[in-house]
Structure 1
Amino acid sequence: MEQTMIQQRIERFKIFGEKLKGAKVYFREDWEVLYFDLQGKMFGMMNDQASEDAIITLKNLPEKNEELREIYKGTVIPGYYTNKNHWNSIKLASDDLNDEAIEQLIEVSYQLVYQKLTKKQKAEIEE
């Protein structure tokens, strides 16, 4: 996949993440990544520049992560710099998973983090 298409994906997923209720997506300088944030908790991170190595890292259930790694060998890999059971990294240069499928995975990651928030934090989001 060419650089411009990878950059378009990065922009698309950033915009998608920002549309989720209470979520923020911003460049985190200390990690040099786009950080997907919900009430101070990470639900994803992604390279901000297009390259063959660009990835998005998302949370999912351990058994689902294993299944995705089996189905999409080489495209979905254990989470980079994260707990390998709970996080997967997806190579953005691969078109094995289309944009809509990755957006669904972003939504799942968001929901898993949302479920762990306190009642107070959830109430702040719902305001």
Structure 2
Amino acid sequence: MTLEDLRAYCLAKPATTEGLPFGPDTLVFKVAGKMFALTGMDEADLRVNLKCDPEYAITLRERHEEIKPGYHMNKQHWNTVYIEDGDLSTELVRELIDHSYELIVASLSKKVRAEFGL
């Protein structure tokens, strides 16, 4: 998966926006204004921070050495997924993006979900 693939996959999700709120090197994807994915702009070292259910996060970290506690994030609720070495399948990375997105959508109020058509 390339940076452009990651970007396209995230932006295809309903009510998703992208921005650079932390500076020009960190691309942030939000659904209804809440972050679900962050990635560096350096494709040579591609990794993405994704929200994750705490119990599932532990399981993922035990099974995959490319999945670590979230860098500069709450380590209980965020994982950093290292994509650059290619050992993780694109399918798994997409599943983890979906999981992160769905966690954020589930945390939104009914009113906000209705406003954004979610």
Structure 1 length as normaliser, TM-score? 0.85
Secondary structure at the counterpart of residue 21 of structure 1: coil
Matching residue of 1:65: 57
Matching residue of 2:73: 82
- Equivalent residue in structure 1 for 2:96, among 89, 105, 113: 105
Alignment of 1:1-127 (within 5 A): 9-30=2-23, 32-52=25-45, 54-73=46-65, 75-126=66-117
Same amino acid, percent of matched pairs: 30
Question: Matched residue pairs, number?
Answer: 118
- Deviation track 1:59-94 (CA, whole Å, cap 9, x = no partner) reads 111111111111112x11100111001100011212
CA RMSD of aligned residues (A): 1.7
Distance 1:76 1:23 in 2: 24
Structure 1 gaps of 5+ residues are 1-7
- Equivalent position amino acid for 2:36 in 1: F
Structure 2 length as normaliser, TM-score? 0.91
Shift of 1:26: 2.9
Secondary structure at the counterpart of residue 35 of structure 1: strand
Shift of 1:120: 1.6
